[in-house]
Homo-oligomer: A and B are copies of this chain.
Amino acid sequence: MTDFTQTRPLFDLPEGVIYLDGNSLGPLPKSAAARVARTIQDEWGQMLITAWNRAGWMDLPSRLGDRIARLVGAEAGSVVLGDTLSIKVYQALASAIEMNLGRKVILSDSGNFPSDLYMAQGLCKTLGDGYTLKVVAPEEVLGAIDESVAVTMITEVDYRTGRRHDMKAITDRAHAAGALAVWDLAHSAGAFPVELAACGADFACGCTYKYLNSGPGGPAFIYVAPRHQNRARPALSGWLGHEAPFAFDPDYRPGRGVERMRVGTPPILQMAALDAAMEIWDRVDMNALRATSLALTDRFIAGVEAACPDLTLATPRDHTSRGSQASFRHPEGYAIMQALIAEGVVGDFRAPDILRFGFTPLYTSVQDVDGAVAILARIMAELRWDRPEFKARQKVT
């Protein structure tokens, strides 16, 4: 599907809101409410325990994984859903670092989402014995990959600036140095075509509640390259990752392929909502999506730069170096975002000074972009420190 005027009516968006925060929480696909209601009433309510087989609940994490695989350029059978992104990052890291015994450095960058850094710090403490997380500036990643590095842990798109790393270049450099590459696709999956297999990524993970629109707390996913699937040890070795969960074997034996990365009982209501969202995604041409996303983002950047000289672009202009968001800096960014939200333009503020706006062709139109620019321009022109938002901000600081 390349005509995005056909997808917008599939979402429930409140009247009078220009929603540029789908990179934080995607909006509600209209079909999700009925899909979840069916799971609750017809499956849970009527089939009870038998729904695990009769309604196909048990296989849902793999079936959804195969559908997400297409969006991120992964091989069939290499993606499975479950848990949260932080847990999936931990699993990927723990497996990868153990496949590279003798090396003790996890390399990441300061543009990574903090939870990834925290999970790596936690893993290093549990491993003890000199394991460390090394954090460099985003532009220093390539140069910092040396033969001490066991694994790189990079989030492709910076959650604040929208800056996009070169997945192929970093993965190649990691491999050349004997390291493994773990990718976090939080701001990539559903934002543009990702090519995990073509880039040779070793592990990847992502969340579904941003661009993929699965709803608050929707399950995460993990990718394990087929060449690693049968030797990656799951550190979080739960029963649904066992070779035969219902044999109730006292000893863990990892399951086949990526299935071993399953841990506990999957959240079926959240997966039902994701299933509804995927019915839209199954029909989306990712290249058309990317072209439209870039056009929307370019238009927004040009409009804001023309109308709001006090805002400084934080996102790279180069198309290959950005995701599907545009960010601007301003010292009073928090108060400006509050004023925007009060006027119906919903974006996000990220400390210390970032205003970020996500662009999602499935439901964001050229008219939305122009409307957001006009409202932002008016707010910036009327910037008066006696507005309640600014007063509130001044009290806080």
A148 interface hit (Cβ, 8 Å) = no
- What are 19 A-B interface contacts by the 8 Å CB criterion? A14-B48, A17-B48, A32-B40, A33-B37, A44-B215, A49-B346, A86-B263, A87-B87, A87-B263, A94-B126, A117-B251, A119-B236, A119-B237, A123-B235, A125-B233, A127-B128, A135-B250, A217-B269, A269-B270
Bound: A129/B218 CA distance, A: 37
**Which of A19-27, A222-230, A387-395 lies at the interface?**
A19-27
Query: Which among B24, B86, B235, B267 is the interface contact of A125 at CB below 8 angstroms?
Result: B235
What's the nearest-Cβ distance from chain B to residue A326, in Å? Answer: 17
Q: Which of A40, A41, A233, A242 has the most CB of B within 10 A?
A: A40
Scoring A residues 24 to 63 as 1 if CB is less than 8 Å from chain B, else 0, what string do you get? 1101100011001100110111101111100001000000
Q: Verify if A110 is at the interface (C-beta below 8 Å from B).
A: yes
| A300, B218: Cα distance in complex, Å | 41
Q: At the interface, yes or no: A182 with Cβ under 8 Å from chain B?
A: no
Cβ of A316 under 8 Å from chain B: no
Q: Residues of A within 8 Å of B, CB-based: how many?
A: 87
Residue A90, interface by CB 8 Å:
yes
Given A36-B37, A217-B267, 5 extra CB contacts under 8 A:
A28-B44, A50-B341, A86-B239, A118-B237, A128-B129
A57 to B239, CA, bound (A): 29
Does residue A115 face the partner (Cβ distance < 8 Å to B)?
Answer: yes
Contact B121 A252 (CB under 8 A): yes
- Kindly state whether residue A184 has any CB partner on chain B within 8 Å: no
Contact of A216 among B37, B57, B121 (CB under 8 A): B57
A114 and B249 within 8 A (CB): yes
Q: Is A178 an interface residue (CB 8 A)?
A: no
Q: Which residues of A contact B (CB under 8 A)?
A: 12, 14, 17, 19, 21, 24-25, 27-28, 32-33, 36-37, 40-41, 43-46, 48-52, 57, 83-87, 90, 94, 110, 113-115, 117-119, 121-123, 125-129, 135, 207, 209, 215-220, 233-240, 242, 246-252, 263-271, 273, 341, 346, 348, 350-351
**Known A265-B207, A268-B217, A269-B273; contact A122-B236, beta-carbon cutoff 8 A:** yes
Q: In the complex, what residue of chain B is closest to A97 when comparing beta carbons?
A: B126
**Which residues of B lie under 8 Å from residue A236 when comparing CB positions?**
86-87, 90, 119, 122
Q: Which residues in B have their C-beta under 8 angstroms from that of A114?
A: 239, 242, 248-250
Cα–Cα distance between A115 and B53 once the two chains are bound (Å): 20
Contact partners of A51 in chain B: CB under 8 A: 25, 216
- Whether A84 touches B264, Cβ cut-off 8 Å, given contacts A14-B45, A51-B216, is yes
CB <8 Å contact, B57 and A41: no
Q: How far is the CB of A142 from chain B (nearest CB, A)?
A: 20
CB pair B248 A351 closer than 8 Å? yes
Report Cα–Cα, A14/B237, bound state, in Å. Answer: 36
- Of all A-B residue pairs in the complex, the 9 with the closest CB atoms, nearest first, are A84-B264, A115-B239, A122-B237, A217-B267, A216-B268, A86-B238, A118-B252, A86-B264, A28-B45
Please give the distance in Å from A47's CB to the nearest CB on chain B. Answer: 8
Q: How far is the CB of A270 from chain B (nearest CB, A)?
A: 5
Pick the contact of A269: B41, B129, B215, B240 (CB < 8 A): B215
Closest-by-CB residue of B relative to A110 is: B250
CB pair A251–B121 under 8 Å, yes or no, is: yes
**B36/A48 in contact, CB under 8 A:** no
Q: Which of chain B's residues has its CB closest to A14's CB?
A: B46
